Structure 1
Amino acid sequence: GMVTLDMRVSSPTAVPWTDPVMAYSSVRFDYTGRAAGKHKGTVFTEARVELVMSLKDPSVDQSARHILDAQQLPERTFPSWAGKTVPGSTEPLHRRINKTKQDENRDKSIRECREVWGDYSGTPLECDEYPFASTYEGSTKGDNRFSVRLIDGGDNGRGGLLIQKVYEENRILDGDPFYVKINP
């Protein structure tokens, strides 16, 4: 749908003025079920949606550091290759709802973590991946523009909850774009 603002100004002493499209915004009305948090809703489709995390938040500082390194210093991330770039900051990520495809992303990322760091089972560490398993840009996309890092499991879980919160609060559906911003 489209929401428009039609502005008209008139005065007995001035020429009438009209701007039929002074402002507009595209909107989507949907009925999606649990995937978007609520069953029914409306979204301004041209609004930029961002997941914002902070390096100063001790609950997700390891997740935030990993994402920032992947976005700004990809040479510090694995897999490593010359000229690597990782999307999400200026190039959007796109949500993927298919659980089977998410699991495939996650499985490939875990294999990469084990290849780099060996067997970490029995430790409090988990394989963090960026872009997230819940995106089309995840590790199975085939372009190797992803990063994995071992981080504290609690931090990794809390980061995942933040991602899910952004999906639900902003009604991010399959294929919808969003960005990731890390504050210092």
Structure 2
Amino acid sequence: MTTGPYTRDANGNPRQCDECPFASTYQNAAKVVENSGWSFAAKPIAKDANEKGGGMISNWYGREHMLDGDEFYVVVR
């Protein structure tokens, strides 16, 4: 198995690649605009942080009764 900055940090801790926009949205990182380097962003982050963030957004969808197609926006600070 190959390791590097996208699979392990400098201390050997596991990483996962996270995407923006969220994969759970219609504007997700899986929808690539051909011939554009600005279609989406992905960055390796700590595995635990990625899994915690995924759980938080899933809980938010449920808590707010978000349905497929509901619009929302995200503010990043």
TM over 0.5: yes
What TM-score, normalized to structure 1? 0.32
Structure 2: state its 5+ residue gaps.
none
| Structure of higher RCO (CA pairs closer than 8 Å, 6+ residues apart) | 1
Unaligned runs of at least 5 residues, structure 1: 1-116
Q: Which of 35, 41, 47 is matched with 1:153 structurally?
A: 47
Q: TM-score, normalised by structure 2?
A: 0.71
Residue 171 of structure 1 deviates from its aligned partner by 1.0
Seq. identity, %:
39
Q: Which runs of 4+ in 1 moved over 6 A?
A: none
How far apart, in 2, do the equivalents of 1:178 and 1:130 lie?
Answer: 15
Give the direction of change, closer, same or farther, for the CA distance of 1:161–1:131 in structure 2 (3 Å limit).
same
Q: CA-to-partner distance for each residue in 1:147-182, whole Å, 9 max, x for gaps?
A: 100000111111111111210111111111111123
| Aligned mates of 1:133, 1:124 — CA distance in 2 | 20
Taking only aligned residues, the RMSD between alpha carbons, in angstroms, comes to 2.2
Shift, 1:123, TM fit: 4.3
Task: Compare the two structures and name the one with the higher helix fraction.
Answer: 1
CA-to-partner distance for each residue in 1:58-93, whole Å, 9 max, x for gaps?
xxxxxxxxxxxxxxxxxxxxxxxxxxxxxxxxxxxx
Which one has the bigger strand percentage? 1
